[in-house]
Amino acid sequence: MKKEHYFSPKAMKSKWTQILLGFFWVSLIFLADVIQIPLLSSFITQLDYRTYDQVVQLNWRPHQTIPRVVIIDIDDKSVQQEGRWPWPRDKMADLINKLKQNGVVTIATDIVMAEAEVNYAIGLKNELNKLILQLSPEQKQLPNLLEQIAPKVDNDRILAQALMDHNVVLGFLFHNDKQIRKGVLPLPLTNPEGKQLCRAHLPLYQFSGYNGCLPLFLNASTQAGAVTNVPDLDGTIRHGLMLASYDNKLYPTLAFATAMNYLMAQHISLKTHGQQLYGIQMGNVFIPTNSHGQILIPFWGQIGAQNYYSATDIIRGKINADELQGAIAIIGSTIILLADLHQSPVAQSFPGVEMVGNMVQGIVGQQLVSEFDWNTNTGRVYLVLLGLVFTFLISFLSVSRMLIFAVMCIIAIRVLSIYLFVAKSVYIPIALMLTLIVLITITNYAYLFIIERRQKRKINQLFGQYVPEDYVKELIESPDQYSMEGQERNMTVLFSDIRNFTGVSETLDASAVKRLLNTFFTPITEIIFSFRGTIDKYVGDMIVAFWGAPIHDEEHASHAIVCALTIAKQLPEINVTMQEKDLPKVNIGIGLATGMMNVGDMGSEFRRAYTVIGDTVNLASRLQDLTKFYQVTILVSDGTRAGQDHFVWRVIDKITVKGRKSGLIIYQPLGAVGEVSEEVLTELEEYHRALDEYSAQNWSSAEKKFTALKTKFPNVYLYQMYHERIKAFMETPPPEHWDGVYMHQHK
């Protein structure tokens, strides 16, 4: 049965169509990923942004504070106490010196210093030289004096000395304005062999302009890194650059250079698959990147995951001596006027200096998240396989189960992505998978909806008048469980007609005959429907029904028996309705037979019907005719009786009918066990004892018992019939090898 359901030709045709629909979307998503179809790619990208931001906002990843990274904030308090920004370079030198005195290991400045500061002594000297002719002899000595003191008030040299004395990483800026190239750049990055790294074929970010470092500062400092940020398409900064390309040479960013300084790494190695960058090796530390040389910036909750210290408190010595011992300090600013605030997944205005601090801690503490890239060949293969597997699985589901399965897959993917992010530090963008699942589900749903609408219409047209409404719903929900093709099945068929209908109809006009049949067929049909029967046909006064098709029914015989008993029980009420409509009472006969028969859509090209044919069907018709002979309401074949021990049975006769060679025992059901009265059971016991004597050809004993029965129950024709048959056998005994079978000569 299951094999028929899943792999019938009709089912497989539908499934192949669903698989082709799924393959279409897999191909389209694949192309969107490869050639970047604008609308679809934009939707997928925006969905990835949202799903990633939600995961980050959960803040479930553990935050290890080793090594310790602190933010030295030039905040509003610092500006109020130390003076407006920009500060004199000697104050910056003082800040750096104080940080070193407090035990800071590495200092990075998230500030670009590409131009020299004005030396006021030199400036005054130049102005005095312009007025030299107007000066007195004593005043003419002033320019020489100013020239002598100029080095002592040269703040750039003071800062350069601080940079030289301490471990400081400078910041510079890359941009794409070719007209602006201020200051100088540090030396490009080199590999372990000492060779300069170049961009070559890698899809790294290329810049055409820069605000570099003052040569004096660059020569005095340890390293320098770019403070350049590259926001995503929606303006949010989720990724941090590790490498930037200028003139085909590679330079570190500030976070990268700071980590190199702290780890004392001199060289790096680029890790690639073909033309795709996937990571950077910095000594013993591996940095997972995307193909553009970016990392996912670690965000640990809202602003303040790193400890902030006001710059003025450092300068004025207001912190404990050991509070910064061994720390990495990032000097930057959170004041709005400096505009170093950026939109991030966790805050609309997130300080750029803390982003640098987070990246440094992520690199050095190896707390970075590895981002799976669908744009690689491996990623695309996985995407296609996932799409095809989902398409294959969903093709075996009904519409309702399909939706449930799709929702469960989406939830499972979401939960898995969160688990991998939190527990395994792996981020898998799920928008491609979710989009693929939704598109495949929608198209398959639409396809099945259209197919089911057609099937529903077809089923309603075919079965609507012949099976109960609930039965039709089952057929619609499981269309593969029925077939219009001819099938041989074990089923039960029922024939029922009105006794002496010809005589009854002769007393009525055509209109009354129509009302009589409608009044009779309507409740009978309702009863058949209530016991899951299928109406085969109405032929004159006869109704034919069967059980076991179009949907399999393991209890078809039991349902048919209960149905026949219910019809017989309801007949008095039907006759009351007949009298209320001025129609004559009716009596009926019902024949039931169970066995193999052919069922399916049969007929001609002009008219067809879903019907049953076969020897078992003919037997049921003959049993219905024999109810008149035996004067009982219901007769069933031994095939129907088999295994139905939860009913009380009266053995009627052992017969053979014209057209059949083998004999069969026919029965009359009296009701379900427990529902038949003790009087009837006692009568039945007496009858079966008498019948045993009859079968054993003990004619004298049988004659006595049936005489007693027909005297006690004069309205039961069966006892009279056997009494007469016994008397006949007493006069003319049956053949020597008689097996108790009575031959009926009519069909």
Q: Are residues 94 and 227 in the same domain?
A: yes
pLDDT band at 245 (very low <50, low <70, confident <90, very high): very high
More confident of the two residues 406 and 661: 406
Residue 147 pLDDT > 60: no
Q: Which residues pair with 266 in a beta bridge?
A: none
Residue 146 pLDDT > 50: no
Q: Which of 98, 40, 77 is nearest to 431 (CA)?
A: 40
Residue 40 pLDDT > 60: yes
3-class SS of residue 129: helix
Whether 740 maps to a domain, the answer reads no
CB-based burial, 686-716: b 16+ in 10 Å, e otherwise? bbeebbebbeeeebeebbebbeebbeeeeeb
Q: Are residues 40 and 115 in the same domain?
A: no
Q: Are residues 620 and 669 in the same domain?
A: yes
Chain-centre distance for alpha carbon 293: 33
Question: HSE (CB half, 13 Å, CA atoms) of 663?
Answer: 11
3-class SS of residue 525: helix
Q: Which of 738, 708, 722, 573 is nearest to 650 (CA)?
A: 722
Whether 685 maps to a domain, the answer reads no
Tell me how crowded residue 626 is: count the other CB atoms within 10 A of its CB.
20
According to DSSP, residue 190 is labeled B
Least confident interval from 532-546, 621-635, 694-708, 729-743: 729-743
Residue 351 pLDDT > 50: yes
Q: Are residues 429 and 450 in the same domain?
A: yes
3-class SS of residue 409: helix
pLDDT band at 745 (very low <50, low <70, confident <90, very high): low
Residue 747 pLDDT > 90: no
Q: Which of 264, 222, 266, 246 is nearest to 109 (CA)?
A: 222
Whether 176 maps to a domain, the answer reads yes
Q: Are residues 145 and 279 in the same domain?
A: no
Answer yes or no: are the C-beta atoms of 175 and 157 closer than 8 Å.
Answer: no
pLDDT tens figures, 554-577: 999 999 999 999 999 999 999 999
Q: Which residues pair with 589 in a beta bridge?
A: 497
Burial (Cβ within 10 Å: 0-12, 13-18, ≥19) of residue 388? middle
Distance CA 329, CA 104 (A): 7
DSSP-derived pairing of the beta strands 106-112 and 328-332: parallel
At 692, phi and psi to the nearest 5?
A: -65, -40
Residue 66 pLDDT > 80: no
Q: What is the pLDDT of residue 667?
A: 98
Q: What is the pLDDT of residue 354?
A: 95
Q: Which of 28, 30, 20, 165 is nearest to 96 (CA)?
A: 165
Q: Are residues 162 and 143 in the same domain?
A: no
Mention every residue, 6+ apart, whose C-beta is less than 8 A from residue 154: 119, 121
Tell me how crowded residue 435 is: count the other CB atoms within 10 A of its CB.
19
Return the ∠ at Cα 186 (arms to 182 and 189), rounded to 5°.
135
From 641, 676, 711, the end of a domain falls on: 676
Q: What is the pLDDT of residue 152?
A: 56
From 624, 656, 676, the end of a domain falls on: 676
At 95, phi and psi to the nearest 5?
A: -60, -45
Encoded amino acid at 565, one letter: L
Distance CA 359, CA 239 (A): 10
Query: Domain total for the chain?
Result: 4
Q: Are residues 614 and 639 in the same domain?
A: yes
Q: Are residues 77 and 50 in the same domain?
A: no
% residues pLDDT > 70 (the chain): 86
Residue carrying structure tokens 């024939």: 495
At 301, phi and psi to the nearest 5?
A: 75, -155
Whether 105 maps to a domain, the answer reads yes
- Report the greatest alpha carbon distance in the chain: 176
Q: Residue range 521-548: average pLDDT?
A: 94
Whether 188 maps to a domain, the answer reads yes
Q: What is the pLDDT of residue 27?
A: 64
Distance CA 358, CA 300 (A): 8
% residues pLDDT > 90 (the chain): 61
Residue 140 pLDDT > 60: no
Q: What is the pLDDT of residue 8?
A: 47
Whether 731 maps to a domain, the answer reads no
DSSP run (H or E) holding 735 = none
Please confirm whether the linkage preceding 550 is cis (ω < 30° from 0): yes
Q: Which residues pair with 160 in a beta bridge?
A: none
Tell me how crowded residue 717 is: count the other CB atoms within 10 A of its CB.
14
Highest mean pLDDT among 378-382, 598-602, 630-634: 630-634
Q: Hey, what are 501's tokens?
A: 């209908």
Residue 542 pLDDT > 60: yes
The per-type count for the chain, helices as H runs and strands as E runs, is: 24, 29
Mention every residue, 6+ apart, whose C-beta is less than 8 A from residue 116: 156, 214, 216
pLDDT, averaged across the chain: 86
pLDDT tens figures, 671-719: 999 999 999 999 999 999 999 999 999 999 999 999 999 999 999 999 9
Highest mean pLDDT among 147-151, 200-204, 311-315, 532-536: 311-315
CB-based burial, 170-195: b 16+ in 10 Å, e otherwise? bbbbbeeeeeebebbbbebbeeeeee
DSSP-derived pairing of the beta strands 209-211 and 168-175: antiparallel
Q: What is the pLDDT of residue 641?
A: 97
Q: Hey, what are 186's tokens?
A: 């540090």
Q: Are residues 211 and 140 in the same domain?
A: no
Encoded amino acid at 235, one letter: G
Q: Which of 308, 305, 280 is nearest to 293 (CA)?
A: 280
Encoded amino acid at 315, one letter: I
Answer yes or no: are the C-beta atoms of 533 and 552 closer than 8 Å.
Answer: no
Q: Which of 375, 408, 406, 411 is nearest to 390 (CA)?
A: 406
DSSP run (H or E) holding 556 = helix 556-580
Whether 695 maps to a domain, the answer reads no
Distance CA 622, CA 220 (A): 115
Please confirm whether the linkage preceding 669 is cis (ω < 30° from 0): no
Q: What is the pLDDT of residue 470?
A: 72
Q: Are residues 20 and 45 in the same domain?
A: yes
Radius of gyration (C-alpha) of the chain in whole angstroms = 49
Q: Which of 428, 298, 419 is nearest to 371 (CA)?
A: 428
Q: Hey, what are 675's tokens?
A: 């529902």
Q: Hey, what are 174's tokens?
A: 């890359």
Distance CA 617, CA 289 (A): 76
Answer yes or no: are the C-beta atoms of 298 and 76 closer than 8 Å.
Answer: no
pLDDT band at 136 (very low <50, low <70, confident <90, very high): low
Torsion sign across C-alpha atoms 364, 367, 371, 376: positive
* pTM assigned to the model: 0.65
First to last CA, the chain: 37
Q: What is the pLDDT of residue 388?
A: 81
Q: Residue range 430-452: average pLDDT?
A: 81
DSSP run (H or E) holding 550 = none
Q: Hey, what are 644's tokens?
A: 């139905």
Q: Are residues 335 and 388 in the same domain?
A: no
Q: What is the pLDDT of residue 288?
A: 96
Residue 536 pLDDT > 70: yes
Whether 470 maps to a domain, the answer reads no
Residue 411 pLDDT > 80: yes
Residue 131: domain span:
120-153
Answer yes or no: are the C-beta atoms of 391 and 18 closer than 8 Å.
Answer: yes
Distance CA 553, CA 537 (A): 20
Residue 407 pLDDT > 50: yes
Q: Are residues 284 and 203 in the same domain?
A: yes
Please confirm whether the linkage preceding 67 is cis (ω < 30° from 0): yes
Residue 24 pLDDT > 50: yes
User: What CATH number is given to the structural domain containing 599?
Assistant: 3.30.70.1230
pLDDT tens figures, 501-525: 988 888 899 999 999 999 999 999 9
